[in-house]
Structure 1
Amino acid sequence: MKKSLRFGSAIAIAAVASLTLASCGFGGGDGDDSASGETTLDLLVPSYSDATQGLWEDVIDGFEDANPDITVNLEVQSWDNLESVIATKIQGGEAPDIYNGGPFAGFVADELLYPVEDVVSPDTFSDFQDSFLANAEVDGTAYALPLIASARALFVNNALLQQAGVEAPTNWDELLDAATKVSALGGGVAGYGMPLGSEEAQAEAAVWLWGGGGTFGDAETITVDDPSNLPGAEQVKKMIDAGATQADPGSTQRSPLMDIFIQGKIGMQVGLPPTVGQIAEGNPDLDYSIVPIPTKDGSPFTLGVMDQLMAFQNDGDKQEAITKFFDYYYSADVYVPWVQSEGFLPVTKSGAEALSGEEALAPFLEVLPGAQFYPSTNPQWSATDAAFKALFGQIQTKPAQDVLTEIQAQSDAG
């Protein structure tokens, strides 16, 4: 594999692919058999890769071997379906016992979740990185366990940039110039891959809005329709209007667009740690670099993402079983292979120590200190997230200010 990193060299990590996976249904009943002394836990998770289901099945097999009185029923959903699935289950009184997802503050407001200190041992709780645990708190109490963390960086096709006579950009002016010149090469090549479709529009929006000094708000207030966000939104539109992106970015999904980058048809696109593994499997000869995301003025920035595990208070008799599962999963010999296989960053101190020598993670670990996170502890964030996914792609044809105003209105409406 031909590859260079502005921060240093890297090696390939486990390959991951598309974010679609067939789901396995939950078992019937209430999951607790008092007569037999057996307990059943329902676990709902999203698909991070084609390997996700098998990785969880391995964890469950090991856990059930160690705890023969506990059965874990696994359901895997795509990210596109996950939030509607969990909402439907909650409305039907069938919330999973354990859930791997993103926004969770709304569940806290409805008093549906256990405080995490009630469902992990003190040793497990103390092993989490403090900054990640703080990002899972509502009013000073953690209600979700950090699962994985990720930072983003710009993946650059060195060959295409060389053909266009440009270098990897560090700020918006350089990015616009470089992307426009790469697009001008023709042959189906796009300068910058801009996914504004419903899969993860909020992430691409954050890259631009925050890169221009903007913010989505904090735990108390959501601020999308804010003057600080307008420079980034207008730059998105400037990129599109200049022909610096792929065709129809407003409806383009991130995962298939990254596949096109891997095929060598996109000059630059923001990617995640697992992208390294995708390239290793899909096109190991791709000549690429990983560099910091360009911002308005070139200052350091990355979008940090942290997904969580949380436990619903469905049945008090399950609390002990949930605690056993969490303690088992987060033990270093179980958790580290899982997070390493999915290609993300560990959230535990023991995990970080175990993976400190992984060169493939170095570019992302290096930019992580400057990471900004979604305001996921704001109960309004879930509606805001949905509004970005539904509306931000319209910036392709609508004025930037109008789009920000519409997203704010939908967020405020809940």
Structure 2
Amino acid sequence: MQRRRKIGLVAAGLATSLLATLTGCGGENPLGGEVSLKLMAVEHGDRSGNSSQRFWDKLIGEFRFEHPDIDVDVDLYERDAIDAEVRERVAEGRTPDLAQTSASFAGYARRDLLYNAREVLSTHTQASITASLVQAGSVGHVQYGFPFSASTRALFYNKDLFEQAGVEEPPRTWEELLRTARSLKAVGVKTPYGLPLGEEEAQAEALNWMLGNSGGYLSDAGSYDIDSPQNIATFEFLRDELVGPGLTNENPATTDRQEVYAAFLEGEVAMLNGHPGLMQLALENGIRFGTSPLPGRTAPARTTTGVADWTMAFKENGHAEEIRAFLDFVYQERYVVEYAGTHTMLPVTTEAAYTMREDAAHKPLWPFIESLDVARFYPLGKSSWGPASRRLNATIGSAVLGDGVPRTVLGRVQSDAVAAEAEAETEAAP
């Protein structure tokens, strides 16, 4: 049984104290009545100074000043634990009003458990959300997932190791990446390229490489296309040109992302695909690094992998108007900028993105912010993506091993995904 990891409860104490001090000064709540919203959120901080709890304490206090009749209780969980907790609460009849997820929201939407964007977001808020995130948060062209935090991927490289190998520029193509990796290997670099295809987040690393060869998880028609010719060729390249010659970590199929990140921060990995949060960690560990677009087969990839945490609004408790008031408050520019900046993430609204692009303090994030407009996200609009991605994470790494056969491995993942989609459609049928 998965161990539950609840980070902490954001109490309403700050809000209560503020209201007691400012009694009679706050705006009246036109909704009437006393309502308590239950929110389950992800803890994105890695230290007390950037804890998500501090953000929510402050925001809820300010929200209660404007809406004194709406209380908000927030439970924080680690990102890899919250999805199971949400499923358990819904199954037990303890459904929250709002919950963040990194997994698919489509299953809840197909069971008619969620409010859609038109029901709980103002027109202004709907229009402010970045278009690529609106599309990724939709099921059948109706938005049910509301992005709260986002990130994209870029190639990170160690400048000191590059200088040792006489490499002046980051690679733009796969062939350049191979030449760079060989040069790094020749001067004794332990891991020229860090390739994490273990179960933690293989779906991200796999998509990074698929996109570099005009591939992906879906066809243009929206059906699963995991074993496409482009994807098979991508994994044959990884097996034969990168893993086989020893230019990666020893066993990519069992190597998780955090292991590769840790090795990069120790100066042992020269190149890897990483998210914006890796920048601060690299600075803290004294790593001189650079970032560049993901290399593609013949040119830099035109897109990149996008990842987001999504807020779902559940119908169970009937608090649509109160949820609307809270979400419209949360999506104000200043809060989106504050959360993204504090946690080295990307703003999810166009207004906040413009503000951060105009502020030199956020300059390291600018390339990531720009790439968000063209990022490719996981097919979360399919309720089958949950079981499909679990199968993918558990098996796709074997395709790059010496005895791996990409056509066979990707074919099995494709078959499982198609079967999961058929089962999901059957369950959703009236």
TM-score category (smaller protein): 0.7 to 0.9
Question: Across the two proteins, how many residue pairs are aligned to each other?
Answer: 383
Percent identical among aligned pairs is 31
1:250 pairs with 2:253 = yes
Superposed CA RMSD:
2.5
C-alpha change, 1:221 and 1:94, in structure 2 (3 Å) is farther
Q: Could you tell me how far apart the structure 1 residues matched to 2:372 and 2:321 are?
A: 35
Which of residues 37, 42, 49 is equivalent to 1:41? 37
Which amino acid in 1 is paired with 2:41?
V
Kindly indicate whether the alpha-carbon contact (under 8 Å) linking 2:43 and 2:77 is maintained by their aligned counterparts in 1.
yes
Kindly indicate whether the alpha-carbon contact (under 8 Å) linking 1:195 and 1:250 is maintained by their aligned counterparts in 2.
yes
- Higher relative contact order (Cα pairs below 8 Å, separated by 6+ residues): 1
Which amino acid in 2 is paired with 1:380?
S
Shift of the alpha carbon at 1:184?
Answer: 4.3
The equivalent residue for 1:172 is 174
Q: Could you tell me how far apart the structure 1 residues matched to 2:53 and 2:412 are?
A: 37
C-alpha change, 1:174 and 1:220, in structure 2 (3 Å) is closer
Kindly indicate whether the alpha-carbon contact (under 8 Å) linking 2:150 and 2:307 is maintained by their aligned counterparts in 1.
yes
The equivalent residue for 1:409 is 415
The equivalent residue for 1:8 is none
- Alignment of structure 1 residues 320-331 onto 2, 5 Å: 320-331=321-332
Kindly indicate whether the alpha-carbon contact (under 8 Å) linking 1:300 and 1:367 is maintained by their aligned counterparts in 2.
no
Kindly indicate whether the alpha-carbon contact (under 8 Å) linking 1:222 and 1:381 is maintained by their aligned counterparts in 2.
no
- Alignment of structure 1 residues 12-51 onto 2, 5 Å: 22-24=6-8, 37-50=33-46, 51=51
Q: Could you tell me how far apart the structure 1 residues matched to 2:111 and 2:105 are?
A: 10
Which amino acid in 2 is paired with 1:351?
A
C-alpha change, 1:184 and 1:217, in structure 2 (3 Å) is same
C-alpha change, 1:62 and 1:198, in structure 2 (3 Å) is farther
Shift of the alpha carbon at 1:119?
Answer: 1.0
TM-score between the two structures when normalised by the length of structure 2:
0.81
Measured against aligned partners, the alpha-carbon deviations of 1:199-218 in whole angstroms (never above 9, x if no partner) come to 21100000112212212115
Q: Could you tell me how far apart the structure 1 residues matched to 2:283 and 2:218 are?
A: 37
C-alpha change, 1:164 and 1:44, in structure 2 (3 Å) is same
Kindly indicate whether the alpha-carbon contact (under 8 Å) linking 2:10 and 2:57 is maintained by their aligned counterparts in 1.
no
Which amino acid in 1 is paired with 2:412?
E
The equivalent residue for 1:389 is 393
Gaps of 5+ in 2: 12-31, 421-430
- Alignment of structure 1 residues 15-414 onto 2, 5 Å: 22-24=6-8, 37-50=33-46, 51-102=51-102, 103-166=104-167, 167-186=169-188, 189-217=190-218, 220-238=222-240, 239-283=242-286, 286-301=287-302, 302-316=304-318, 318-357=319-358, 358-397=362-401, 398-414=404-420
C-alpha change, 1:322 and 1:253, in structure 2 (3 Å) is same
Q: Secondary structure at the match of 1:42?
A: strand
Q: Which shows bigger deviation, 265-274 or 120-129?
A: 120-129
C-alpha change, 1:384 and 1:49, in structure 2 (3 Å) is farther
Q: Which shows bigger deviation, 45-54 or 288-297?
A: 45-54
Which amino acid in 2 is paired with 1:344?
M
Shift of the alpha carbon at 1:346?
Answer: 1.3
Q: Secondary structure at the match of 1:23?
A: strand
Q: Secondary structure at the match of 1:195?
A: coil
C-alpha change, 1:222 and 1:90, in structure 2 (3 Å) is farther
TM-score between the two structures when normalised by the length of structure 1:
0.84
Measured against aligned partners, the alpha-carbon deviations of 1:168-210 in whole angstroms (never above 9, x if no partner) come to 21111221232243244447x2111111122211000001122
C-alpha change, 1:73 and 1:185, in structure 2 (3 Å) is farther
Q: Could you tell me how far apart the structure 2 residues matched to 1:207 and 1:118 are?
A: 35
C-alpha change, 1:242 and 1:90, in structure 2 (3 Å) is farther
Q: Secondary structure at the match of 1:222?
A: coil
Measured against aligned partners, the alpha-carbon deviations of 1:116-162 in whole angstroms (never above 9, x if no partner) come to 12112223223223343233222332112222332211111111122
Q: Secondary structure at the match of 2:386?
A: helix
Q: Secondary structure at the match of 1:260?
A: helix
Which amino acid in 2 is paired with 1:233?
F
Kindly indicate whether the alpha-carbon contact (under 8 Å) linking 1:211 and 1:296 is maintained by their aligned counterparts in 2.
yes
Q: Could you tell me how far apart the structure 1 residues matched to 2:142 and 2:166 are?
A: 53
**Bigger Rg, which one:** 2
C-alpha change, 1:83 and 1:375, in structure 2 (3 Å) is same
C-alpha change, 1:385 and 1:47, in structure 2 (3 Å) is farther
C-alpha change, 1:413 and 1:336, in structure 2 (3 Å) is same
C-alpha change, 1:259 and 1:243, in structure 2 (3 Å) is same
Shift of the alpha carbon at 1:326?
Answer: 0.5
